[in-house]
Amino acid sequence: MSVHPAQLLSDVASLPALPGVYRYFDAEDAVLYVGKAINLKKRVSSYFQRNHGGTRIGHMVGKIVRMETTVVRSEAEALLLENNLIKALNPKYNILFRDDKSYPYLKMTGAGATSNLSTSFPRVSYYRGAVEKKHHYFGPYPSAWAVKEAILLMQKVFQLRTCEDSVFNNRTRPCLLYQIKRCSAPCVGHISTPDYMQSVANAERFLRGDARQVMNALEARMMAHAERLEFEQAAELRNQVAALSTVLHQQSVDNVSDRDVDILAVKVQGGRACVNLAMVRGGRHLGDRPYFPVHVEEAAGFYRDEAEADNLTSKALAPSVEALVLAAFVAQHYLNVAVPPSLVVSEPVNQSLLAALSIQSGVKVTAVHQPREQRRQWLEMAQTNASLQLARLLSEEGSQQARTRALVDALDMAGDTLDAFRVECFDISHTAGEATQASCVVFHHHKMQNAEYRRYNINDITPGDDYAAMRQVLLRRYGKLSESLREAQQTGQTHVGTGRLPDLVLVDGGKGQVSMAREVFEQLGLNLSLIVGVEKGEGRKVGLEELVFADGREKVYLGKDSAALMLVAQIRDEAHRFAITGMRAKRAKVRVDGGKLEEIPGIGSKRRAKLLQHFGGVRGVALAGVEDIATVEGISRDLAEEIYRALH
């Protein structure tokens, strides 16, 4: 007799023989698996018509209580929807790559037709975010460092401006960058608009990979100036040619035919995987970035069992774990990132996946599995980096797991579920009672979980009362959770939603803060043994901290070189960092309301312009003293004091 609900089996029987995507859910409505099919009826029915035994696929099928399906028009649409859902739903039996920060770009502002001086001289800058058609963007780059290197190159070779428009529009003399030959000083007319735009055009051609053509054009212009005896202009171009020549000699791949290529190498070891993505843009190797997927072990075993159950291939010909990881990365990564026309890969990529990417991007995408010459060198370099990054990750994880075990042992806690061991740490931060904030950071699965951090604005207390602040944040964090736990106990439920009590509650403080935490937990009816305070040692020296317990146990000194103390210090320091950065941001907002000069009473557009012109920007005004500010035309002594107070 089937263990599955009748409604589920009925839904399976009524599926159409069309392409689509299916999702399986368990009894707690968590997503188990997201899959695609050319024929939904045939594919989904196979899960419930066969005896999968004790395999991973059998274990997963036994948990299914309901499913959802979406019919699409083609296999390509199914593949794209499948990976969108994988990223959104985080299913247990799919290989998943976490969303990373968006890639940075090098931005070249567009030249406008307005009378504003800054729009006549485009600016080069670092940029991350949505693109606008009126500007030009180059990249993406694998890291912020790579963008900054490119900007430095634009300064050295083409002497393009990087200053903000507010500074540019109010300068009366060249800045230091002009003196060190990193800017042509268009702000004060040291270069004409046509000449500056010629440099901009050359820079854009260089970034697109036309470096040799740019070099030839510069050399031709240099010789033309020399023939007309315009030696000063010829010397400027000679310096530009020399700088560009140096760059080209440093760049080992400047003579390749490939302009835009992504190189993808996979390494799998110890149940973890690394995909190293290296980028070539405009014929220049820009660097690489590692990615570490989750659910690799569960998903890889599941996919193998699935392939064997469907008799799609023999066990010997089943896709390798590396190939599965690479396919998941290509499908998920390029959903939100522009895909280049060429991919160099360490494992073969399915043609249907490449076809889907081509349809999505509008550009024919090809993949080379066994490259030659320069492409082979790129791939070997990416494979080496993937191995090194994975070895580093495994080393760090092993060290962190040892620290978790040491802390659990030191506190005499049950270590049956070490991977699920969860610590929440609280800290209070303020400046003489101003802008008080509390932070809560979370340690779980052997690492800090940034996405679960929380800040709490503390109100209605005596300024500087850290005990009252700690009481307020603990009540806000655990008040509703304690009510849910009591209701669950009364009704006999075992599941209380997504909230759960941590295994350890750390408070940054000694007996006083621990006593306050104990009062809160007694009021809420929670277990006092969860609370541990981190008390500074003699002379507040690092390594001499002691642990203070709320349940009456004696204080514990872990030892200066203790792995458990290292973990406690790591969590405590992260809570302090998170609290103090939030407090500073709040304080800055209260004091200067974003630091805008025009919002200071008595400062209009004319006085603001004179201040910016005199000091070179808002930062210069902020660094100036009252006497210096009062020397600006139209700024009285009283107004100078008002400005100083607002900015400090």
* Boundary (domain end) residue, out of 521, 546, 580: 580
Q: Specify the range with the lowest mean pLDDT, choosing from 195-199, 230-234, 565-569, 596-600.
A: 596-600
Burial class (CB in 10 A: 0-12, 13-18, 19+), 513: buried
Q: Is residue 222 assigned to a domain?
A: no
% helix / strand / coil in the chain, to the nearest 5?
50, 15, 35
| 512 and 480 in a common domain | yes
pLDDT at 258 over 80: no
Beta bridge partners of 441: 425
Tokens representing 545 are 């901290």
pLDDT at position 314 is 47
pLDDT digits (tens, 9 = 90+) for 613-644: 777 667 778 778 888 888 888 888 888 888 88
Give me the residue label for tokens 């702000």: 187
Beta bridge partners of 434: 431
| 438 and 573 in a common domain | yes
Q: Is residue 640 assigned to a domain?
A: yes
| 431 and 387 in a common domain | no
pLDDT at position 250 is 46
CB atoms under 10 Å from CB of 427, counted, come to 28
Most confident of 94-103, 198-207, 253-262, 604-613: 198-207
Query: Sheet holding 342-345: strands in order across?
Result: 284-291, 272-281, 261-269, 342-345, 366-368
Alpha helices in 362-465 (DSSP H): 373-410
Angle, helices 6-13 vs 40-49, to 10°: value is 140
The SS3 of residue 273 is strand
What's the CATH number where 62 sits? Answer: 3.40.1440.10
Domain count, the chain: 4
Tokens representing 34 are 């997201």
Tokens representing 536 are 């500074």
The SS3 of residue 442 is strand
pLDDT digits (tens, 9 = 90+) for 336-379: 788 889 999 999 988 888 988 888 888 899 999 988 888 898 89
Beta bridge partners of 264: 277, 345
Q: Which of the pair, 9 or 645, is modelled with greater confidence?
A: 9
- Please say whether the beta carbons of 21 and 36 come within 8 A: yes
pLDDT at position 213 is 72
pLDDT at 593 over 50: no
CB atoms under 10 Å from CB of 236, counted, come to 19
Q: Specify the range with the lowest mean pLDDT, choosing from 157-166, 258-267, 287-296, 407-416.
A: 407-416
Q: Which of the pair, 255 or 449, is modelled with greater confidence?
A: 449
**Which sign does the torsion angle of CA 152, 155, 160, 161 carry?**
positive
pLDDT digits (tens, 9 = 90+) for 518-575: 999 999 988 888 899 888 776 556 667 788 888 888 888 877 778 888 888 889 889 8
Q: Which of the pair, 270 or 293, is modelled with greater confidence?
A: 293
**Which sign does the torsion angle of CA 595, 599, 603, 608 carry?**
positive
pLDDT at position 266 is 94
| 458 and 340 in a common domain | no
Report, in angstroms and rounded to the nearest whole number, the Rg of the chain calculated over CA atoms. Answer: 31
pLDDT digits (tens, 9 = 90+) for 447-491: 888 888 998 888 888 877 888 989 999 999 998 888 888 777 777
The closest alpha carbon to 251, from 202, 217, 219, 287, belongs to 287
d(CA 158, CA 152): 10
* Boundary (domain end) residue, out of 343, 376, 391: 391
| 502 and 439 in a common domain | yes
- Please say whether the beta carbons of 78 and 36 come within 8 A: yes
Q: Is residue 122 assigned to a domain?
A: no
| 378 and 285 in a common domain | yes
d(CA 643, CA 639): 6
Q: Specify the range with the lowest mean pLDDT, choosing from 2-6, 60-64, 454-458.
A: 2-6
d(CA 606, CA 627): 20
Distance, C-alpha 325 to centroid of its chain: 20
Beta bridge partners of 32: none
* Boundary (domain end) residue, out of 46, 74, 102: 74
The domain in which residue 310 lies consists of 261-391
| Average pLDDT value for the chain | 81
Q: Is residue 80 assigned to a domain?
A: no
| 597 and 570 in a common domain | no
Q: Is residue 132 assigned to a domain?
A: no
| 475 and 535 in a common domain | yes
Burial class (CB in 10 A: 0-12, 13-18, 19+), 121: buried
| 520 and 553 in a common domain | yes
- The confidence band for 441, taking pLDDT boundaries of 50, 70 and 90, is very high
- φ/ψ of 430, rounded to 5, equals -165, 170
d(CA 478, CA 524): 8
pLDDT at position 594 is 36
- Please say whether the beta carbons of 24 and 67 come within 8 A: yes
Cα-Cα-Cα-Cα dihedral of 61, 64, 70, 73, to 10°?
A: 10
DSSP 316: G
Element (H, E) at 482: helix 466-491
Q: Is residue 317 assigned to a domain?
A: yes
Over range 157-171, report the average pLDDT.
Answer: 86
Residue partners of 223: CB distance under 8 A and separation at least 6: 234
Q: Which of the pair, 443 or 600, is modelled with greater confidence?
A: 443
| 569 and 455 in a common domain | yes
pLDDT at 255 over 50: no
pLDDT at 195 over 60: yes
pLDDT at position 634 is 85
CB atoms under 10 Å from CB of 592, counted, come to 18
| 484 and 430 in a common domain | yes
Q: Is residue 250 assigned to a domain?
A: no
Q: Specify the range with the lowest mean pLDDT, choosing from 107-116, 419-428, 480-489.
A: 107-116
| 504 and 363 in a common domain | no
Beta strands (DSSP E) in 445-502 are: 447-448, 454-457
pLDDT at position 277 is 93
Q: Is residue 353 assigned to a domain?
A: yes
pLDDT at position 305 is 62
Tokens representing 80 are 């794209």
pLDDT at position 368 is 92
Q: Specify the range with the lowest mean pLDDT, choosing from 9-23, 229-243, 331-345, 442-456.
A: 229-243
The helices-and-strands tally (H runs, E runs) of the chain is 21, 18
d(CA 536, CA 532): 13
Beta bridge partners of 294: 96
- Please say whether the beta carbons of 328 and 79 come within 8 A: no
What's the CATH number where 424 sits? Answer: 3.30.420.340
Beta bridge partners of 367: 343
Angle, helices 321-333 vs 351-361, to 10°: value is 10
Specify the pTM.
0.64
Over range 439-443, report the average pLDDT.
Answer: 92
Tokens representing 145 are 């460092």
Beta bridge partners of 422: 444
